Copies of this chain bind each other. A is one copy, B any other.
């Protein structure tokens, strides 16, 4: 007998039928001898509808009140889910984030969890109940106001509760079968990954994989909570994300390459004609940071000796592009550059795998695959277990397929890519 924390997203509980289906699945886990805590998001489009309402009333709704409004969404889905479970003859109680002890900072709309005190949840499951908990929400430690956790908040609630309750596993139910070696909409031959390490999953999430958010994986890694990502529709085994392959499960070999991620949501800013002297990059990125813009890749080109000027490029979410350009233009004199170039027709392709650390040639093969596919590389950035390149957005689908195939990730391929030696 174990303790299982499950999380169901909005598409799984979009209507009464979805809620009944999820209720059955929760009851199955209970009947298998587990204590069960289920974290649930708002039904389908509820959050969007509430935001629409807010915008009808005020174009810039206050953060505190927007959180109060949005948390009504999970309150509805969790109460309905508890009713559906009781209808199946099992005891269930629903709890708000506040009641579940999800304590956050006071940053409305994107609060961070700072503590979880799940006393009421523990008592409820110890008494034999299934506990249903509102995802995405908490209560501020300082002001006692209701907060929301922002994007991917329900996944984070589930992982944080699993950690606080010392759960055996955190099951994230979604509308896909798990994490794939590439986006199956782009690569038809993409394979479902049976097991992936926290580190590789973090890099995939940072590189555009949408199944799990970086924040949630990071939390799970810190507290070493195994995540099982699976479909709420199919009931199949999904993808395990953990520090090492699950004991007792069929041994999953550490793959050389976990997968190929892509991202076309970013834009590229090039600051042209920056004096090549200490402090220049700092003043550019201080300007960006002061505007509260998160950036991704940063590349500085070699300076032309004749002019003493260099170009610095970085990528950032397209949605932040206007703000970044405005901030830089405003500070042009202070920074001292010649001009700005903005390009939102770019895409990023990333190859992720811990195996590349110890295998030379991965980088070369990656570039060869891109070259063979006729894809031009504009920027390159690497970490220990990831290589990312920026290309034209139009080239992304072909580039992803070419790389996926070159590294033997295609599902009908028996070819194994073998590397020897160290380094890459």
Q: Chain A interface (Cβ within 8 Å of chain B)?
A: 16, 19-20, 50, 53-54, 56-59, 61-62, 64-66, 68-69, 71-73, 75-76, 78-80, 82-84, 86-87, 92-94, 96, 99, 120, 144, 146
A57-B19, A71-B75, A76-B72 given; A83·B65 CB < 8 A: yes
Total identical chains: 2
Question: Nearest 8 A-B pairs (CB), nearest first?
Answer: A69-B79, A16-B56, A68-B79, A72-B72, A58-B87, A58-B83, A72-B75, A61-B83
**Residue from B19, B20, B64, B79 in contact with A66 in the complex, judged by beta carbons closer than 8 Å:** B79
Known: A19-B57, A65-B94, A75-B75. 20 other contacts (CB 8 A): A16-B53, A16-B56, A20-B57, A54-B80, A57-B83, A57-B84, A57-B87, A58-B86, A58-B87, A59-B87, A61-B83, A64-B93, A65-B79, A65-B86, A65-B92, A68-B78, A68-B82, A69-B76, A72-B72, A72-B73
**By the criterion CB–CB under 8 Å, are B57 and A80 in contact?**
yes
Residue of B nearest to A71 (CB): B75
**By the criterion CB–CB under 8 Å, are A83 and B54 in contact?**
yes
**Residue from B50, B58, B87 in contact with A84 in the complex, judged by beta carbons closer than 8 Å:** B58
Is chain A's binding surface mostly helix, strand, loop or mixed? Answer: helix
In the assembled complex, the Cα of A54 lies from the Cα of B19 at a distance in Å of 11
**By the criterion CB–CB under 8 Å, are B56 and A82 in contact?**
no
In the assembled complex, the Cα of A87 lies from the Cα of B120 at a distance in Å of 38
A20-B57, A50-B76 given; A83·B62 CB < 8 A: yes
Q: How far is the CB of A396 from chain B (nearest CB, A)?
A: 40
**By the criterion CB–CB under 8 Å, are A66 and B54 in contact?**
no
Q: How far is the CB of A265 from chain B (nearest CB, A)?
A: 29
Residue of B nearest to A19 (CB): B57
Residue of B nearest to A82 (CB): B65
